[in-house]
Amino acid sequence: MKVRVHVLVGVSESVDARLSINGALSRLKRQAVRLVQRRRARKRRPRPTTSVLLNVLRTRGADLEDRRVLETEKIPIKPLTVEEAVSTLDSNHRGMVIFRNLKTERVNVLYRRDDGNMGLIEPEQ
């Protein structure tokens, strides 16, 4: 387990002691705010793009024992909003988009249904 220690330093010089203390405190406050913002920004970075294997199975006219993988394809999982995934689905001809939802940070699947509408698969939390 790593332990990270941050030392904040606020230095201010003036002829009045109260002005010096207030100046040093305001510098400490600014440093603390920057530190918290940096930590939040680091946590909110999108995860690197990963990929998932998509296996196409032969299902029609086959017994359970006869099912086998016909083809395998690596699909990149990009961080997108749902609206971006809808526009990607409209432009690609695969019929589905696998993406990392930017709001929930979870992998979602957007697909085109047989009736022409779209379906969204989200994992339970």
Expressed as residue numbers, the domain containing 5 is 1-45
Q: 70 and 87: one domain?
A: yes
Which pLDDT score, from 0 to 100, does residue 16 have? Answer: 84
* 55 and 116 both lie in a single domain: yes
- CATH code of 99's domain: 3.30.505.50
The pLDDT of residue 59: 55
Identify the pLDDT of residue 6.
Answer: 56
Domain count within the chain: 2
Residue 49 has what pLDDT?
61
Rounded CA Rg of the chain = 26
96 and 35 within one domain: no
Identify whether residues 54 and 102 lie together within a single domain: yes
5 shares its domain with 56: no
6 in the same domain as 29: yes
Query: pLDDT at position 22, please?
Result: 85
Q: Are residues 55 and 40 in the same domain?
A: no
39/56 same-domain check: no
Q: What is the pLDDT along the chain (125 residues), one digit of tens a residue?
A: 555 555 667 777 778 888 888 888 888 888 888 888 888 777 666 666 666 666 555 555 555 566 666 777 777 788 999 999 989 888 877 788 889 988 888 899 998 888 888 899 888 76
User: CA separation (Å) from 35 to 29, 31, 39, 71, 114?
Assistant: 10, 6, 6, 49, 51
Whether this prediction's pTM lies above 0.85 is answered by no
